[in-house]
């Protein structure tokens, strides 16, 4: 079992980690009154005070419309004609100065405090939205969606592969890059593929090879298949909520490839950190692990059991804050916990 030296440095690191989790919640609650609402100049002043209080960047709330309308997907691909039995088009107007989430999770400082960039446009923006069923938003090229794929778009080169077609934003932005040779997509929903083939692919301004494989990502997540490509980006979940479940199943496969990234991995791993930190704090305080595990709600039981299995196997002694933070923020450690 992992052990800790009891010293002042670790005392304060543990407390700061625990406190940063509380602080995030306080911050998120404080800004809840402002998000998805029109930000009057008075409200903006109040919001900036909150951002300042938590040291969240506050001088970049106003976004240039160009980041949306200048995006090649937004510019080239029109979704107005989409009309299938299950999915149809609607235009959503985002009123000027409406405060929106502009990206997923951004880590801040060395503990667990983080923020989701928020901002507004100075003019009304029409956003194409594909809806499904009674009124569910199915997919939309929203800023936060495009921004959160930034790393994947950037790193794409040679033969690229992605799991999850959606409306083909990532495949299109990859194909437009000179250094990308071809794109392969694994998508399990036939309706998504049909809709893409009928309405979206014909608008792609590129002759490069785009292959869509109708199949389940889990069946293709193996070294032999993944090694056929130069870069892989996995994006078949809707948010960090369902993402953790799917990402865990992928980690359990213990596939060893380095040229792969996962959509909103940082957000997903924060949910893991939220269990790992209290778990380690409990050990640090020399309290009963069994009691700790029992105190965790059903939803996170599997995760806490995995955490326990992983740390039981370690027999090192942690003595400094850096060693502790290497565990908390180490992607390899967190992935290994999920692989247990």
Ligand X SMILES: C[S@@+](CC[C@H](N)C(=O)[O-])C[C@H]1O[C@@H](n2cnc3c(N)ncnc32)[C@H](O)[C@@H]1O
Among residues 191, 169, 188, the alpha carbon closest in space to that of 84 is found at 191
Q: Which of 119, 156, 164, 278 binds ligand X (CB under 6 A)?
A: 164
The residue (of 27 and 221) whose beta carbon lies closer to ligand X is 221
Q: Residue count at the site for ligand X (CB under 6 A)?
A: 18
Q: Which of 103, 156, 195, 235 binds ligand X (CB under 6 A)?
A: 235
Spell out the SS3 assignment of 193-204.
HHHHHHHHHHHC
Interface stretch with ligand X, choices 102-110, 164-172, 222-230, 284-292 (CB under 6 A): 164-172
Q: Which residue is nearest to ligand X (CB)?
A: 166
Contacts with ligand X in 249-288 (CB under 6 A)? none
Contact 146, 124 (CB under 8 A): no
Shortest CB 142 distance to ligand X, Å: 11
Q: Which of 167, 183, 234, 283 binds ligand X (CB under 6 A)?
A: 167
The residue (of 160 and 167) whose beta carbon lies closer to ligand X is 167
Shortest CB 264 distance to ligand X, Å: 10
Query: Does 165 sit near ligand X (CB under 6 A)?
Result: yes
The residue (of 216 and 294) whose beta carbon lies closer to ligand X is 216
**Residues with Cβ < 8 Å from 209, sequence gap 6 or more?**
181, 182, 183
Query: Does 128 sit near ligand X (CB under 6 A)?
Result: no
Shortest CB 295 distance to ligand X, Å: 33
Shortest CB 308 distance to ligand X, Å: 28
Rounded Cα distance, 111 and 122, in Å: 34
Sign of the alpha-carbon dihedral angle for 81, 87, 90, 94: negative
The residue (of 129 and 289) whose beta carbon lies closer to ligand X is 129
Query: Does 111 sit near ligand X (CB under 6 A)?
Result: no
Q: Which of 189, 203, 206, 300 binds ligand X (CB under 6 A)?
A: 189
Shortest CB 185 distance to ligand X, Å: 8
Shortest CB 144 distance to ligand X, Å: 12
Query: Does 40 sit near ligand X (CB under 6 A)?
Result: no
Q: Which of 17, 68, 79, 192 binds ligand X (CB under 6 A)?
A: 192
Query: Does 63 sit near ligand X (CB under 6 A)?
Result: no
Query: Does 183 sit near ligand X (CB under 6 A)?
Result: no
Query: Does 217 sit near ligand X (CB under 6 A)?
Result: yes
Rounded Cα distance, 165 and 19, in Å: 39
Which residues sit at the interface with ligand X, rule CB under 6 A?
Answer: 163-170, 186-189, 192, 216-218, 235-236
């Amino acid at each position: 079992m992992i052990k800790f030296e009891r010293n002042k440095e670790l005392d304060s690191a543990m407390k700061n980690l625990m406190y940063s989790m509380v602080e995030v919640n306080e911050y998120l609650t404080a800004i809840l009154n402002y998000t998805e609402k029109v930000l009057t100049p008075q409200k903006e002043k109040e919001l900036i005070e909150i951002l300042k209080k938590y040291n969240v960047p506050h001088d970049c709330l106003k976004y240039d419309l160009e980041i949306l309308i200048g995006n090649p997907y937004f510019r080239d691909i029109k979704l107005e004609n989409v009309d299938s039995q299950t999915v149809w088009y609607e235009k959503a107007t985002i009123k000027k100065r409406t405060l929106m989430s502009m990206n997923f999770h951004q880590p801040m400082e060395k503990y667990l405090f983080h923020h989701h960039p928020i901002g507004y446009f100075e003019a009304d923006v029409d956003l194409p939205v594909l809806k499904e069923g009674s009124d569910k938003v199915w997919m939309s090229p929203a800023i936060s969606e495009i921004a959160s794929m930034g790393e994947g778009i950037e790193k794409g080169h040679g033969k690229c592969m992605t799991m999850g077609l959606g409306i083909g934003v990532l495949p299109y932005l990859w194909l437009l890059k000179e250094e990308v040779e071809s794109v392969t997509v694994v998508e399990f929903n036939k309706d998504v593929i049909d809709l893409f083939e009928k309405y979206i692919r014909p608008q792609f301004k590129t002759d490069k090879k785009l292959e869509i494989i109708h199949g389940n990502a889990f069946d293709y997540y193996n070294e032999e298949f993944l090694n056929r490509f130069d870069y892989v980006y996995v994006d078949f979940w809707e948010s960090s909520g369902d993402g953790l479940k799917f990402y865990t199943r992928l980690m359990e496969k213990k596939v060893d490839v380095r040229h792969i990234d996962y959509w909103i991995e940082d957000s997903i791993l924060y949910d893991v950190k939220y269990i790992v930190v209290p778990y380690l704090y409990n050990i640090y305080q020399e309290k009963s692990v069994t009691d700790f595990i029992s105190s965790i709600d059903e939803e996170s039981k599997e995760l806490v059991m995995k955490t326990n299995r992983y740390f039981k196997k370690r027999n090192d002694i942690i003595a400094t804050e850096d060693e502790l933070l290497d565990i908390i923020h180490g992607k390899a450690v967190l992935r290994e916990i999920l692989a247990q």
